[in-house]
């Protein structure tokens, strides 16, 4: 991944937070999670007995994590490149996107583990269909619905609960406030423009009052802190906590219970059909597969199961 060369940022970050070499090591750990492909499979016996419901869950859980690694690597590289080119507004905007994706990942890790433990495969399937279908093809998914970003941001208070308890001086809504600070410098708002206003010189004499405002692309320390805080926090927690949690509590959880889940649907075939009927529009997904040059799935199924 990219490394920071902006001396002002390096000096500030290493004084206020930690050595950047530690951050780069975390970035290397993130890179190690990259997968070229998401591989999933289903046996003919399973396809005959329960259809694709378990396969869809397995594929969705892996695809969600695999694509997230790419997103996080891309966003972190973008922040670094923006800092190096002194495009601090760009770095702040991307830092906000990084914070949003981190918050949503934290919330979904919690929810997916919860749904698996509760055996709520309908909710889990509906969630995973959303992340596997783009907005351009939303008609494929039934009840296509995204989670509002503020639900994810507010969940950070729960995710970082132990940190809040260890630091009683932190405000109750500290993590939501961090998001608001980034938003104020991203949206068409006063902070977004005043970050370029650096100095005012004024004179008042016998002729009257005169004021001069000086502007600059240089970053002020408040915005430097906001951006650095997010960069430091997420670089650390992604690889030290969140991805390990998802791998252990979601992927491994599913893998260890996969045979049980298949048996559950063998004993409850109507529920398997219900989930498929309530998540995907069969006619529209067939049409999409044809547009993509894929074979008729029902024809393939018939040829291999008969």
pLDDT of the residue at 302: 65
User: Which token pair is 77?
Assistant: 């590289």
Q: Alpha-carbon distance 299 to 279, whole Å?
A: 21
> In the chain, where do the E strands start and end?
197-205, 208-215
Residue 72 inside a domain? The answer is yes
Residue 210 included in any domain: no
Q: Do the domain assignments include residue 95?
A: yes
Rounded Cα distance, 131 and 196, in Å: 38
The answer as to whether 204 is a domain residue is: no
Please state, in angstroms and rounded to a whole number, the distance separating the CA atoms of residues 88 and 240.
27
CA angle 143, 148, 152 (to 5 degrees): 125
Question: Kindly report the CA angle at 216 between 211 and 218, in degrees rounded to 5?
Answer: 140
| 209 inside domain | no
> Domains in the chain: how many in total?
1
- In this prediction, residue 41 carries a pLDDT of 84
Give a yes or no: residue 122 inside a domain. yes
Residue 213 inside a domain? The answer is no
Structural domain that includes position 44: 7-192+220-305
pLDDT at 39: 80
Chain-centre distance for alpha carbon 79: 16
> In the 8-state DSSP scheme, what is residue 220?
P
pLDDT means per 10 residues in the chain (306 residues)?
94 96 97 88 88 93 96 97 95 96 98 97 94 90 91 95 83 90 92 90 91 90 92 96 97 96 93 90 85 78 67
- Report the pLDDT value the prediction gives residue 164, as an integer from 0 to 100: 82
Q: How far apart are CA 125 and CA 66, in angstroms?
A: 17
User: Is residue 33 a part of any domain in this protein?
Assistant: yes
Under 8 Å CB-to-CB from 134, ≥6 apart: which residues? Answer: none
Q: How far apart are alpha carbons 255 and 276 in whole angstroms? A: 21
Inter-CA distances, 27 with 23, 93, 238, 272, Å: 6, 20, 9, 40
d(CA 48, CA 304): 10
Q: What is the pLDDT of residue 305?
A: 65
């Amino acid at each position: 991944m990219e490394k920071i060369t902006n001396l002002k940022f390096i000096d500030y970050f290493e004084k206020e937070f930690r050595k950047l070499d530690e951050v780069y090591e975390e970035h290397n750990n993130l890179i190690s999670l990259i997968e070229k492909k998401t591989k999933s499979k289903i046996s003919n016996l399973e396809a005959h007995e329960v259809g694709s419901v378990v396969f869809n869950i397995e594929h969705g859980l892996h695809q969600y994590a695999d694509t997230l690694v790419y997103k996080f690597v891309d966003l972190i590289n973008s922040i670094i490149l923006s800092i190096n080119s002194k495009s601090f507004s760009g770095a702040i905007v991307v830092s906000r996107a990084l914070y949003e994706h981190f918050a949503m990942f934290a919330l979904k890790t919690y929810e997916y583990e919860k749904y698996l433990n509760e055996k709520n495969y309908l909710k889990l399937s509906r969630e995973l269909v959303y992340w596997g279908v783009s907005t351009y093809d939303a008609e494929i998914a039934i009840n296509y619905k995204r989670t509002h970003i503020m639900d994810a941001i507010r969940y950070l208070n729960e995710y970082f609960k132990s940190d809040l308890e260890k630091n009683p001086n932190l405000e109750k809504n500290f993590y939501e406030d961090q998001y608001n600070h980034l938003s104020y410098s991203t949206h068409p708002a006063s902070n977004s423009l005043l970050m370029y206003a650096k100095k005012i010189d004024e004179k008042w004499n016998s002729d009257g009052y005169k004021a001069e405002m000086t502007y600059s692309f240089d970053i002020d320390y408040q915005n430097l802190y906001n951006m650095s805080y997010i960069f430091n926090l997420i670089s650390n927690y992604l690889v030290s906590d969140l991805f390990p949690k998802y791998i252990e509590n979601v992927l491994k959880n599913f893998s260890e219970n996969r045979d049980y889940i298949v048996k559950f649907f063998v004993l409850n075939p109507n529920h398997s059909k219900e989930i498929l009927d309530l998540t995907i529009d069969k006619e529209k997904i067939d049409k999409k597969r044809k547009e993509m040059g894929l074979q008729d799935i029902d024809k393939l199924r018939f040829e291999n199961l008969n």
